[in-house]
Amino acid sequence: MVTFIITVTAQPGHDADVTRFYEEIEPMMKEVDGFVGRKLYRARTGTMVEAVKKAYTAEELAAHPEPPHEDPGTQFIIIEEWESVDKRIAFGKANGNRNKDLIPHLLPSHTHEFYEEFSA
């Protein structure tokens, strides 16, 4: 079995569109040869910053100021399990056109790669 991890970031205000895309392809994924399963994660954007602001004093926050930045969008992490690298590649090749509905909702940065598990 192999693990394939995808990260994408939805444009600000497009997280529902990205969520819907991944929910709608779920039934099709279950029928694909070699697909074992997947987990979908959507960032709770801003949750960490708000928690830090509540936990630290004003002096502690001032010692490590965070520079202002634009809305980062919402990050998604998709962890897929496949029987083999070849079966995941075959799926991508056969179904490459499906992403045309997803791409307009994403920021340019993304990653996709096969990973191996290790323990420290």
Q: What is the pLDDT of residue 112?
A: 95
Q: What is the pLDDT of residue 64?
A: 86
CA distance 37 to 112: 16
Answer whether residue 120 is part of any domain. Answer: no
Query: How high is the pLDDT of residue 48?
Result: 87
Residue 91 lies in domain: 2-115
The answer as to whether 91 is a domain residue is yes
Looking up residue 49, the CATH number of its domain turns out to be 3.30.70.100
Q: What is the DSSP string of 107-118?
A: EEEEEEEEE---
Asked if residue 26 is part of any domain, the answer here is yes
Number of domains forming the structure of the chain: 1
Q: Which range, 10-14, 58-62, 66-70, 93-97, has the best average confidence (pLDDT)?
A: 10-14
Please give the model's pTM, rounded to 2 decimal places.
0.86
pLDDT tens column, 19-57: 999 999 999 999 999 999 999 999 998 888 889 889 999
Question: Residue 109, Cβ neighbours under 10 Å: how many?
Answer: 10
Does residue 28 belong to any structural domain of this protein?
Answer: yes
Phi-psi region of 34 (alpha: psi -120 to 50; beta: other; left: phi over 0): left
